[in-house]
């Protein structure tokens, strides 16, 4: 097995799939890339059992097609050091010995037999949905930060994908915060839902182009989902279980509406939070008239901060506490100039909405639970 390939093309492809590799795997083969050489195509695969990702690229020359598993870390480390130049990789299929020639250098390492590498599951009875990659990048960016890490509630560690006849919704929650991202410009024409795991989505949002022109083919059945775009194919096992009824926790009666400049509020929160408690991350929001006062204090260290912001407000004066880290995550994820915070009482959840045009295809709703104010 032998092929010649551009060093930068190979490195770029390896980096696209390396995020799936697991360093703490009990199976040594999962620390390898699987190389499959056909007549003129090279397919490289990485897997952690739950998620498998492949990339296809063209070779400059290929002879004696074959399959070999190559140690990922060593290959990545050496490829990062090369300038743009042709690299020749030669494999002795009897001994699994690998020789790599680049410029004046010759490097040797030992690969592994491919039969131990996990097989990509063949999906049956699948449904297909075509989406733009920019839509998925936006959906993942706006939901992933709200997923939970509780191993006892695995369904909340993923993102719910809910399809209806006339819209597509992504939901994430950890019981303290919740994000519902809905698109009415996608008509799935079917009613179904499944839970996508966090790790492959985090990886996808980093390698997917934020481009309306790039189409992503999403195939799914009861156990797996496959996302295909450009030269990448990612297969992941879906999280098994029933997602909580998220609509039931979103309050519908929120008579108090605060509208503020998103960046000003975010920057003020960042400053004030520095002086607050490192355990509760509590920041007090006090709204009177057209003035919002943010206050944080840490009694143990005798530090406190207070900052005033002008805002637009409809409703009675209110004083409510929020976790500043959660609020900062939400404000940083939204993209609108102004943000609307809807409230009803100091012990009821607050709703964050971007101020946007009625015809905007994105419908984003963020919910944040209040924290009990310490007097």
Token pair of 100 as six digits: 């790599």
What 3-state DSSP class applies to 344? coil
List, edge to edge, every strand of the sheet that includes 86-92: 61-63, 2-6, 86-92, 97-102, 105-110
Strand ranges in 48-113 using DSSP code E only, listed in sequence order: 51-58, 61-63, 66-71, 86-92, 97-102, 105-110
C-alpha–C-alpha distance, residues 80 and 60, integer Å: 20
The answer to whether 350 and 176 have CB atoms below 8 angstroms apart is: no
- Domains plus CATH for the chain? 2-116 (3.10.150.10), 127-176+185-248 (3.10.150.10), 250-371 (3.10.150.10)
Reported as type and span, the H/E element at residue 256 is: strand 256-261
Phi, psi of 5 (to 5 degrees): -150, 155
Q: What is the pLDDT of residue 374?
A: 64
CA–CA distances in Å: residue 251 to residues 169, 311, 366: 18, 23, 11
Q: What is the pLDDT of residue 373?
A: 75
The tens-digit pLDDT sequence of the chain (375 residues) is 999 999 999 999 999 999 888 777 778 889 999 999 998 899 999 999 889 999 999 999 999 999 999 999 999 999 999 999 999 999 999 999 999 999 999 999 999 999 889 888 788 888 999 999 999 999 999 999 999 988 888 899 999 999 999 999 999 999 999 999 999 998 888 899 999 999 999 999 999 998 889 999 999 999 999 999 999 999 999 999 999 999 999 998 899 999 999 999 999 999 999 999 888 899 999 999 889 999 999 888 889 999 999 999 999 999 999 999 999 999 999 999 999 999 999 999 999 999 987 778 899 999 999 998 765
The residues near 245 (Cβ < 8 Å, ≥ 6 apart) are none
Q: What is the pLDDT of residue 375?
A: 55
Antiparallel, parallel or unpaired: β 370-371 and 318-323: antiparallel
Q: What is the pLDDT of residue 359?
A: 79
C-alpha–C-alpha distance, residues 276 and 298, integer Å: 5
Q: What is the pLDDT of residue 145?
A: 95
């Amino acid at each position: 097995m032998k092929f010649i390939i551009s060093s930068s093309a190979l490195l770029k492809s390896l980096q696209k799939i390396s995020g799936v590799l697991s360093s703490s795997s009990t199976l040594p083969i999962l620390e390898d890339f699987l190389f499959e050489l056909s007549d003129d195509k090279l397919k490289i695969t990485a897997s952690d059992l739950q998620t498998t990702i492949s990339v296809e690229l063209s070779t400059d020359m290929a002879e004696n097609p074959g399959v070999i598993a190559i140690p990922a870390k060593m290959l990545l480390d050496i490829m990062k050091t090369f300038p743009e130049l042709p690299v020749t990789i030669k494999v002795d299929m009897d001994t699994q010995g690998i020789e790599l020639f680049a410029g004046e250098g010759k490097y040797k390492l030992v690969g592994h037999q491919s039969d131990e590498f996990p097989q990509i599951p063949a999906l049956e009875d699948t449904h297909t949905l075509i989406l733009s990659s920019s839509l998925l990048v936006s959906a993942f960016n706006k939901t992933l930060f709200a997923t939970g890490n509780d191993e006892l509630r695995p369904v909340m560690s993923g993102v719910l994908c809910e399809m209806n006849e006339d819209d597509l919704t992504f939901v994430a929650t950890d019981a303290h915060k919740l994000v519902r991202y809905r698109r009415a410009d996608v008509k799935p024409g079917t009613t179904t839902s499944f839970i996508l795991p966090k790790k492959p989505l985090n990886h996808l949002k980093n390698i997917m182009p934020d481009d309306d022109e790039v189409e992503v083919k999403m195939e799914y059945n009861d156990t797996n989902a496959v996302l295909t775009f450009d030269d990448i194919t990612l297969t992941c096992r879906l999280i098994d279980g029933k997602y909580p009824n998220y609509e039931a926790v979103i309050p519908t009666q929120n008579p108090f509406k605060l509208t503020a400049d998103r960046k000003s509020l975010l920057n003020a929160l960042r400053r004030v939070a520095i002086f607050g408690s490192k355990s509760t991350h509590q920041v007090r929001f006090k709204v009177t008239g057209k003035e919002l006062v943010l206050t944080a204090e840490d009694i143990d260290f005798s530090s406190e901060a207070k900052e005033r912001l002008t805002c637009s407000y409809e409703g009675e004066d209110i004083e409510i506490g929020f976790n500043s880290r959660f609020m900062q995550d939400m404000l940083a994820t939204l993209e609108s100039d102004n943000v609307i915070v809807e409230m009803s009482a100091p012990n009821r959840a607050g709703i964050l909405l971007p101020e946007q045009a009625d015809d905007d295809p994105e419908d984003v709703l963020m919910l944040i639970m209040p924290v009990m104010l310490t007097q």
